[in-house]
A and B are shown apart, each in its own frame.
Chain A
Amino acid sequence: MYNGKDRAQNSYQPMYQRPMQVQGQQQAQSFVGKKNTIGSVHGKAPMLMANNDVFTIGPYKARKDRMRVSVLEKYEVIGYIAAGTYGKVYKAKRQINSGTNSANGSSLNGTNAKIPQFDSTQPKSSSSMDMQANTNALRRNLLKDEGVTPGRIRTTREDVSPHYNSQKQTLIKKPLTVFYAIKKFKTEKDGVEQLHYTGISQSACREMALCRELHNKHLTTLVEIFLERKCVHMVYEYAEHDLLQIIHFHSHPEKRMIPPRMVRSIMWQLLDGVSYLHQNWVLHRDLKPANIMVTIDGCVKIGDLGLARKFHNMLQTLYTGDKVVVTIWYRAPELLLGARHYTPAVDLWSVGCIFAELIGLQPIFKGEEAKLDSKKTVPFQVNQLQRILEVLGTPDQKIWPYLEKYPEYDQITKFPKYRDNLATWYHSAGGRDKHALSLLYHLLNYDPIKRIDAFNALEHKYFTESDIPVSENVFEGLTYKYPARRIHTNDNDIMNLGSRTKNNTQASGITAGAAANALGGLGVNRRILAAAAAAAAAVSGNNASDEPSRKKNRR
């Protein structure tokens, strides 16, 4: 019975590729041809072959493929920013002919420019259906653009009209081009051109679903999504800096503290973003310096929602979904103790770690990740917990009433008793602000129930009782500039069209791949493991290789 179908699959290949390659005339032909096929299938004339359209949904795909606008038609890829197990992030700008960069800009010019673009990409078709479909798609694009206006208009305006520049930003001499970061999700396998659709990953699915829904000044703004060539491409507004980069700038070649005022502004904006996420019932679960972006005009943006999930009305427990969450150094103690259920407090622990890192210029709990054993059980992270205990002291039931209930409680009794050293740590790191220390204590509270939440953290004295108010521009008052993001221009081949160039993150890719393979179908998040593997490698490399660790960690 399935012979027929096998044949159908064989003939499917050319059927499918045709609409992607040929131009207008031929497409119109295939269109007519399709009609005939259907007619005869339904008609009396018996066909020898199974109706392969049913399995391949050929006609529908052809209709959609004809209308699709490529990411390359709208954006010009400059180079790649970072690569990881999830895929690759590219820096891009709008194609010149597709608007926004033109001189007589308004917020609408992007759409004006789209009309001719559509004409050029659409095959000429006489049927009114196609025209309608076109306008439909066009309108949808307009809507899409409107959806992202808040952030975009602002940048566009600064970019386009000279008055705005002269008004407030004397630093910028030449008009800026608006840049974008395009995140391309890798589908399962490493390799050259993707041969099959592998199904979008849970991580891509989360990021798409949540980024579409969430809009906040302190989250990276999603501009649009392209589904093309079996890959998901998410276009974000570009951010020139991230906290990892800024911390690195201050710690190399020798340590120079980040101005306390800047730290405060960063923390406020970061907490504001986290508060927004939590109010929308979203856990981020991967907060770390590399995921906190800062735009050129000093606005903090939380990025990478690939591990984020709604914790409202859950069908499955958090633990069932992902066995391991949060990059090891930023992982909350309740997670280390094997909590099956956890709360937004895990994000605030991470925020606390980031705060400490902004002050001390290196990860406060730089533990070594325990590798997975052959039994594929999630290992207990001895070293990471050790690092926490050394700074914060050994917790007991007085400060953490539910401590005994955690699955890994027994482990904690094996450690020697440590005393709380956070104040000493803070002063030796050069901290002078008692309110800062107090907030740090609240964020790094062992008990997740007592740990301060984002909303209350924003009201903390650290922010309210200060001579200098929190600034919307974290760079305000600085006399120097941070170096721009390094772009690897040797690879801007987002579509994998040409030969693949070898990149220098290959090593980390291999580690990550090995870790992921070792896990198989466990349901442990691969990205976390990969980052952890990189982190572990960096630690064992004993800081001599600080540079590569940074690169790997960047993800």
Chain B
Amino acid sequence: MSGSFWTSTQRHHWQYTKASLAKERQKLWLLECQLFPQGLNIVMDSKQNGIEQSITKNIPITHRDLHYDKDYNLRIYCYFLIMKLGRRLNIRQYALATAHIYLSRFLIKASVREINLYMLVTTCVYLACKVEECPQYIRTLVSAARTLWPEFIPPDPTKVTEFEFYLLEELESYLIVHHPYQSLKQIVQVLKQPPFQITLSSDDLQNCWSLINDSYINDVHLLYPPHIIAVACLFITISIHGKPTKGSSLASAASEAIRDPKNSSSPVQIAFNRFMAESLVDLEEVMDTIQEQITLYDHWDKYHEQWIKFLLHTLYLRPASAI
């Protein structure tokens, strides 16, 4: 139901367990292996003994590159694609989050290799804006997408509207999604009151909001209810509170902070721990979400945009020599 997560199709139809998600992905993996047994040939320029030459390499299909479930590079790249398009059109984060859910759901069922990722992003944003009642004109959207990725987006907007049908089909028309932002608001309200009396600064809230934004890169939205993700992100926010995060990466800051025994004795942390204990949230799920988030930031440190761009270019475009 649209009023509550507990009766929603998100929970009853689109929430996986780790096992069931792995099973779905295994299916897709087999499908990909069958459809594209030849893998991907890439041409790389290399300098050997001062002589420039290009070498053709093959990335076997079994390699993790370009498999959405295994390739964090690809995941993070998708996140940036959605953000970029959203920024350009001033689309609200809430709608973009919905678009991201559509994208993750779609990519459980279909391979990046058989579709056009840039079109998928455009279509997800198009549909999400409609569902979140802030519709975008198709022409505006397509022309914005075309300025960003001219080589991948056809000028004809009906290609996006056509894709919309296929997207709807994969989503089985389950379109309403619940996000942690709303839960965050509610939890923050509760925390303000006794016995917890934690008032988060606007910086903290902004941090937490950003953590939630990032969490869409993970699978957690396919696995856990939104409030779990909100609690997990709040936990991280409180753990790293006051720690200098500029120099070191957020990943190391977070994992350090969580491991640091001194940290758990800060009054805010104690109060928040009490909240977690009393609110009866599933702590295991919260911990797993935190772990996922830390893993994500580890990968983020190694994020190599040029590489994923190069792979997608090779995958989607004809070789440069043929032009």
Interface positions of A (Cβ within 8 A of B): 2, 5, 9, 35, 38-39, 41-44, 46-51, 54-57, 59-61, 63-64, 68, 127-129, 132-133, 136, 140, 143-144, 147, 196-200, 202, 205, 208-210, 212-215, 225, 227, 230, 279-282, 309-310, 312-316, 321
Q: Which of A42, A230, A312 contacts B165 (CB 8 A)?
A: A230
Q: List 25 A-B contacts (CB under 8 A).
A: A2-B155, A46-B321, A47-B322, A51-B317, A54-B316, A55-B154, A59-B35, A63-B114, A64-B169, A128-B34, A140-B172, A147-B13, A196-B161, A197-B165, A199-B160, A200-B164, A208-B173, A209-B2, A209-B173, A213-B1, A213-B2, A225-B173, A313-B94, A315-B94, A315-B132
Q: Which of B2, B152, B182 contacts A310 (CB 8 A)?
A: B2
Give every chain A residue within 8 A of B168 (Cβ-Cβ): 200, 208, 227
Q: Which of B40, B92, B166, B318 contacts A60 (CB 8 A)?
A: B166
CB contact list, B145-200 vs A, under 8 A: 152, 154-166, 168-169, 172-176, 182
Most A Cβ at <10 Å: residue of B95, B127, B322: B322
CA distance A321 to B135 in the complex (A): 8
B1-34 CB mask vs A (1 if < 8 Å, else 0) is 1111000110001000000000000010011001
Indicate if the CB atoms of A213 and B176 lie closer than 8 Å.
yes
CA distance A2 to B163 in the complex (A): 21
Indicate if the CB atoms of B161 and A198 lie closer than 8 Å.
yes
Give every chain B residue within 8 A of A282 (Cβ-Cβ): 2-3
Indicate if the CB atoms of A144 and B162 lie closer than 8 Å.
no
CA distance A230 to B161 in the complex (A): 9
15 further interface pairs, Cβ-Cβ under 8 Å (given A129-B34, A202-B130, A213-B176): A35-B36, A38-B36, A41-B319, A42-B314, A54-B152, A57-B163, A59-B114, A60-B115, A60-B166, A197-B165, A200-B164, A212-B173, A227-B173, A279-B3, A280-B1
With A60-B166, A214-B1, A313-B182 known to touch, is A208 a contact of B115 (CB < 8 Å)?
no
CA distance A215 to B172 in the complex (A): 17
Determine how close the nearest CB of chain A comes to the CB of B316; give it in whole angstroms: 4
Give every chain B residue within 8 A of A199 (Cβ-Cβ): 126, 138, 157, 160-161, 164
Indicate if the CB atoms of B110 and A132 lie closer than 8 Å.
no
Is B134 located at the chain interface by the 8 A CB criterion?
A: yes
Give every chain B residue within 8 A of A143 (Cβ-Cβ): 13
Determine how close the nearest CB of chain B comes to the CB of A14; give it in whole angstroms: 16
Give every chain A residue within 8 A of B34 (Cβ-Cβ): 127-129
Indicate if the CB atoms of B94 and A60 lie closer than 8 Å.
no
CA distance A279 to B40 in the complex (A): 52
Determine how close the nearest CB of chain A comes to the CB of B61; give it in whole angstroms: 11
Determine how close the nearest CB of chain B comes to the CB of A222; give it in whole angstroms: 9
Is B41 located at the chain interface by the 8 A CB criterion?
A: yes
Is B210 located at the chain interface by the 8 A CB criterion?
A: no
Determine how close the nearest CB of chain B comes to the CB of A136; give it in whole angstroms: 7
Give every chain A residue within 8 A of B164 (Cβ-Cβ): 197, 199-200
With A39-B38, A133-B31 known to touch, is A9 a contact of B156 (CB < 8 Å)?
yes
Is B287 located at the chain interface by the 8 A CB criterion?
A: no
With A54-B116, A59-B35, A208-B175 known to touch, is A129 a contact of B133 (CB < 8 Å)?
no
Q: Which of B30, B158, B175, B176 contacts A196 (CB 8 A)?
A: B158
CA distance A46 to B138 in the complex (A): 35
Is B205 located at the chain interface by the 8 A CB criterion?
A: no
Indicate if the CB atoms of B166 and A64 lie closer than 8 Å.
yes
Is B276 located at the chain interface by the 8 A CB criterion?
A: no
Indicate if the CB atoms of A227 and B169 lie closer than 8 Å.
yes
Residue ID in chain A nearest B94 by CB atoms: A315
Give every chain A residue within 8 A of B174 (Cβ-Cβ): 212-213
Give every chain A residue within 8 A of B115 (Cβ-Cβ): 57, 60
Give every chain B residue within 8 A of A316 (Cβ-Cβ): 133-134
Residue ID in chain A nearest B43 by CB atoms: A44
Is B265 located at the chain interface by the 8 A CB criterion?
A: no
Give every chain A residue within 8 A of B30 (Cβ-Cβ): 128-129, 132
Determine how close the nearest CB of chain A comes to the CB of B110; give it in whole angstroms: 6
Most A Cβ at <10 Å: residue of B95, B126, B134: B134
Is B315 located at the chain interface by the 8 A CB criterion?
A: yes
Residue ID in chain A nearest B91 by CB atoms: A315
Residue ID in chain B nearest A55 by CB atoms: B154
With A129-B31, A214-B2, A314-B133 known to touch, is A42 a contact of B38 (CB < 8 Å)?
yes
With A41-B318, A197-B158, A281-B2 known to touch, is A209 a contact of B114 (CB < 8 Å)?
no
Give every chain B residue within 8 A of A38 (Cβ-Cβ): 36, 38
Residue ID in chain B nearest A308 by CB atoms: B2
Residue ID in chain B nearest A132 by CB atoms: B27
CA distance A136 to B134 in the complex (A): 34
Determine how close the nearest CB of chain A comes to the CB of B159; give it in whole angstroms: 6
Is B230 located at the chain interface by the 8 A CB criterion?
A: no
Residue ID in chain A nearest B159 by CB atoms: A55
Pairs A-B, 4 closest by C-beta atoms: A280-B3, A46-B322, A199-B161, A209-B175
Give every chain B residue within 8 A of A64 (Cβ-Cβ): 166, 169
CA distance A281 to B319 in the complex (A): 52
Indicate if the CB atoms of B114 and A60 lie closer than 8 Å.
yes
Most B Cβ at <10 Å: residue of A44, A57, A321: A57
Determine how close the nearest CB of chain B comes to the CB of A329; give it in whole angstroms: 26
Indicate if the CB atoms of A50 and B318 lie closer than 8 Å.
yes
CA distance A141 to B110 in the complex (A): 18
Give every chain B residue within 8 A of A197 (Cβ-Cβ): 158, 161-162, 164-165
CA distance A55 to B316 in the complex (A): 9
Give every chain A residue within 8 A of B101 (Cβ-Cβ): none
Give every chain A residue within 8 A of B318 (Cβ-Cβ): 41, 46-47, 49-51
Give every chain A residue within 8 A of B133 (Cβ-Cβ): 309-310, 314-316, 321
CA distance A26 to B119 in the complex (A): 28
Give every chain B residue within 8 A of A310 (Cβ-Cβ): 2, 133, 176
CA distance A437 to B36 in the complex (A): 72
Is B81 located at the chain interface by the 8 A CB criterion?
A: no
Give every chain A residue within 8 A of B135 (Cβ-Cβ): 202
CA distance A132 to B32 in the complex (A): 13
CA distance A197 to B126 in the complex (A): 14
Determine how close the nearest CB of chain B comes to the CB of A347; give it in whole angstroms: 15
CA distance A210 to B1 in the complex (A): 8
Residue ID in chain B nearest A64 by CB atoms: B166
Give every chain A residue within 8 A of B27 (Cβ-Cβ): 132, 136
Determine how close the nearest CB of chain A comes to the CB of B243; give it in whole angstroms: 32
Indicate if the CB atoms of A312 and B2 lie closer than 8 Å.
yes
With A44-B41, A46-B321, A212-B176 known to touch, is A280 a contact of B2 (CB < 8 Å)?
yes
Residue ID in chain A nearest B36 by CB atoms: A38
Determine how close the nearest CB of chain B comes to the CB of A485; give it in whole angstroms: 26
With A129-B31, A197-B165 known to touch, is A54 a contact of B322 (CB < 8 Å)?
no
CA distance A321 to B133 in the complex (A): 7
CA distance A196 to B152 in the complex (A): 20
Indicate if the CB atoms of A212 and B175 lie closer than 8 Å.
yes
Indicate if the CB atoms of B35 and A35 lie closer than 8 Å.
yes
Give every chain B residue within 8 A of A309 (Cβ-Cβ): 133
Determine how close the nearest CB of chain A comes to the CB of B225; give it in whole angstroms: 16
CA distance A39 to B130 in the complex (A): 38
Give every chain A residue within 8 A of B48 (Cβ-Cβ): none
Residue ID in chain B nearest A215 by CB atoms: B1
Is B56 located at the chain interface by the 8 A CB criterion?
A: yes
Is B131 located at the chain interface by the 8 A CB criterion?
A: yes
CA distance A296 to B208 in the complex (A): 53
Determine how close the nearest CB of chain A comes to the CB of B289; give it in whole angstroms: 22
Give every chain B residue within 8 A of A213 (Cβ-Cβ): 1-2, 8-9, 174, 176
CA distance A43 to B3 in the complex (A): 52
Give every chain A residue within 8 A of B158 (Cβ-Cβ): 196-198
